[in-house]
Amino acid sequence: MSSRTPLLMIALLALAPARTLYAQITENPLPAPVEKRGLTVQIRDVVRLPRTLGLLPADQDTNPAGWARVSFVRDAPDGRRFANDSRGFLYLLQADAEPSVYLDIRSAIPHAIYNRLESGFIGFGFHPEFADNGLFYVVHGEYAMGNPSEVDFIPPGYTEADVTHHNVITEWRANDPAANTFEGTRRELLRVAHVTTNMSHPFGYVGFNPTSEPGDEDYGLLYTSGSDLGFSNGGGPNANNPGQTQRLDSVVTAILRIDPRSPSQSGGTKGLGDYTIPPSNPFAGDNDPATLGEIYAYGFRNAHRLSWDLTDGTMFAADIGMNHIEEINIVHAGANYGWMAREGYWENGIIRPGGALNQLYELPGEVLDVRDADQFTYPVAIYDHNEGQAISGGFAYHGRIEQLRGKFVFGDVQRGRLFAADLAALKAADDGVPRTVAPVEEIQLYVRRANGERVYVSFRDLVERSNGASASRADLHLSDSRDGELFLTSRQDGMIRMLVPDED
Give me the residues that bind Ca ion (CB under 5 A), please. 429, 431, 433, 436
- Are 382 and 326 in contact, with CB atoms under 8 Å apart? yes
Please report how close the Cβ of residue 35 comes to Ca ion at its closest, in angstroms: 22
> 227 vs 336, which CB is nearer to Ca ion?
336
User: Which H or E run includes 11?
Assistant: helix 5-21
> 303 vs 429, which CB is nearer to Ca ion?
429
Sign of CA dihedral 486, 488, 489, 493: negative
> 172 vs 337, which CB is nearer to Ca ion?
337
Q: Is the peptide bond before 64 cis (omega within 30 degrees of 0)?
A: yes
Please report how close the Cβ of residue 332 comes to Ca ion at its closest, in angstroms: 13
> 89 vs 316, which CB is nearer to Ca ion?
316
Please report how close the Cβ of residue 428 comes to Ca ion at its closest, in angstroms: 8
Sign of CA dihedral 313, 306, 423, 344: negative
Please report how close the Cβ of residue 432 comes to Ca ion at its closest, in angstroms: 7
Amino acid at residue number 271: G
| Residue in the shown chain whose Cβ atom is closest to Ca ion | 436
Please report how close the Cβ of residue 364 comes to Ca ion at its closest, in angstroms: 16
Backbone φ and ψ of 70, nearest 5°: -70, 130
Q: What torsion do the CA atoms of 212, 218, 222, 225 make, to the nearest 10 degrees?
A: -90
> 100 vs 375, which CB is nearer to Ca ion?
375
Please report how close the Cβ of residue 429 comes to Ca ion at its closest, in angstroms: 4
> 156 vs 432, which CB is nearer to Ca ion?
432
123 bridge partner residues: 139
- Are 300 and 327 in contact, with CB atoms under 8 Å apart? no
Please report how close the Cβ of residue 379 comes to Ca ion at its closest, in angstroms: 8
Q: Residue 484 burial (CB < 10 Å; 0-12/13-18/19+)?
A: middle
> 376 vs 395, which CB is nearer to Ca ion?
376
Please report how close the Cβ of residue 298 comes to Ca ion at its closest, in angstroms: 19
> 317 vs 462, which CB is nearer to Ca ion?
317
**Of 352, 362, 297, 351, the residue nearest 324 (C-alpha):** 362
Please report how close the Cβ of residue 305 comes to Ca ion at its closest, in angstroms: 21
Please report how close the Cβ of residue 366 comes to Ca ion at its closest, in angstroms: 15
- Are 70 and 490 in contact, with CB atoms under 8 Å apart? yes
Q: What is the DSSP string of 400-428?
A: S-GGGTTEEEEEBTTT--EEEEEHHHHHH
> 112 vs 423, which CB is nearer to Ca ion?
423
> 240 vs 436, which CB is nearer to Ca ion?
436
Please report how close the Cβ of residue 427 comes to Ca ion at its closest, in angstroms: 10
> 216 vs 431, which CB is nearer to Ca ion?
431
256 bridge partner residues: 295
> 293 vs 344, which CB is nearer to Ca ion?
344
**Of 416, 224, 388, 187, the residue nearest 317 (C-alpha):** 224
Q: How far is CA 482 from CA 320, 325, 365, 399, in A?
A: 25, 31, 43, 10
3-state SS class at 87: coil
**Of 34, 40, 169, the residue nearest 109 (C-alpha):** 169
Please report how close the Cβ of residue 76 comes to Ca ion at its closest, in angstroms: 36
Q: Residue 245 burial (CB < 10 Å; 0-12/13-18/19+)?
A: buried
3-state SS class at 499: strand
Backbone φ and ψ of 485, nearest 5°: -95, 165
- Are 479 and 74 in contact, with CB atoms under 8 Å apart? yes
